[in-house]
Structure 1
Amino acid sequence: MFIVILLIALSVWGVAWVIVDVRRDGYGQRATDWSRVAGHDDALQRAESTTSYR
């Protein structure tokens, strides 16, 4: 019985540690800087620089 209680306590501690670690890892959502995305074609900028529209 002691081993079962020990395993449950370690499991609870591990889950709590994972939650804390994931919350402070620094890799949260960030706004995308579209000027740095490869192959990004800004249609509005392209339309403003041309004389005719499709």
Structure 2
Amino acid sequence: MHLLCGPVDAAVLAARVPSAQGPVAVSALEARVEALEADVASLREAMAALGQRPS
């Protein structure tokens, strides 16, 4: 169960995601991870600017 949205339906998620095989899938995952890491860094900078300490 996701804390913000309730239960997760894995079948729906699997239907949305293209086949997770091969170099294209790995490349897509790497791009998503890089984007998420950039978002986290941005949020940490914003928290630091507000004087908050990330946990």
Report the TM range for the smaller structure's normalisation: 0.3 to 0.5
Look at both structures and tell me which one has the larger radius of gyration over its CA atoms: 1
The structure where helix makes up a greater share of residues is 2
TM-score scaled by structure 1?
Answer: 0.47
TM-score scaled by structure 2?
Answer: 0.46
